Amino acid sequence: MPKRRRLTMRQLRQLLRLNADGISVRDTMLGIARSTVQDNIERATAAGLSWPLPAELTDDVLEYRLFSRQGVKQGIRRRTEPDWGRLAVELKKPGVTLSILWEEYRAVHPDGYAYSRFCDLFRGFERRLTPTMRQVHVAGDKVFVDYSGKKLPIVDRKTGEIREAEIFLGVLGASSYTFAEATWSQTLPDWIGSHVRMFRFFGGVPRLIVPDNLKSGVNRASFYDPEINRSFGMMASHYGVGVLPARPKATEG
């Protein structure tokens, strides 16, 4: 009798399909022992899986759901894991994505998790972090404004000179509809000009502008009583929109 062995994910999918159709798998998958077939069907049943499988179920997730506990102590995974806490911090940096972090992880651990499983584990780690208050945004209520923190090189085609431009962003809270433009600086004229062009782009103004305490818009950041730049405040008054600076992070006493 053939030795029991682990099936490929393609074979597993075919096995589940044939089993759901009531077809004798023993006659269609040559070289696979009946005990192996039965074992995999029982695993799928125990995992709550049946044909047709969900379209979003990747091979890595399917393998994990069927075999994650085989020969592994509870709470211990079979592959080397990265420092999820460090990755959560890295992900907050401009230009860093989960794809980049995964590539760096696989460069160190070639036999590590595939990308889809890596993302699943990271999202699971995020859910275990300290919960934050959920914000509900009403349409037309707030626009969140700031600079991206990552400059864009601009090349002068005549001289070849390269200058770096700032990227201004304005995002409507309810829809995430986004305005973005490049300016040469974060100074007050560029800051106010970007707001004017943003309002023109949106075709109107929200009830509140929420800046992230940039010096061009907020002279003094305060948890309770921030001081708005005079020119920025005059612009807001002209358009009939309020300014509500984001609260600065609390520091330990």
Q: Does 237 lie in the same domain as 147?
A: yes
* 156 falls within a domain: yes
Which residues constitute the domain of residue 157?
142-243
Q: For tokens 């230009």, name the residue.
A: 95
8 A C-beta contact, residue 4 and residue 33 = yes
Q: Does 102 lie in the same domain as 21?
A: no
Q: Characterize the bridge pairing of strands 178-183 and 162-172.
A: antiparallel
* 137 falls within a domain: no
- Low-confidence residues in the chain, pLDDT < 50: 1-4, 30, 70-76, 217, 219-226, 250-253
Q: Does 208 lie in the same domain as 233?
A: yes
* 215 falls within a domain: yes
* 3 falls within a domain: no
DSSP 43-71: HHHHTT--SSPPTT--HHHHHHHHHTTTT
H helices of the chain, where?
9-20, 25-28, 34-46, 59-67, 84-90, 98-108, 115-127, 188-202, 230-239
Residue 200 confidence (pLDDT): 95
Residue 250 confidence (pLDDT): 45
8 A C-beta contact, residue 241 and residue 204 = no
Q: Does 91 lie in the same domain as 42?
A: no
Q: Does 92 lie in the same domain as 20?
A: no
* 2 falls within a domain: no
Q: Does 154 lie in the same domain as 220?
A: yes
Q: Does 91 lie in the same domain as 52?
A: no
Q: How much is the pTM?
A: 0.48
Structurally, how many domains does the chain consist of? 3
Q: Does 189 lie in the same domain as 119?
A: no
* 197 falls within a domain: yes
Q: Does 42 lie in the same domain as 110?
A: no
- Residue 163: which residues within 8 A CB-CB, separation 6 or more? 153, 154, 156, 184
Q: Characterize the bridge pairing of strands 208-211 and 162-172.
A: unpaired
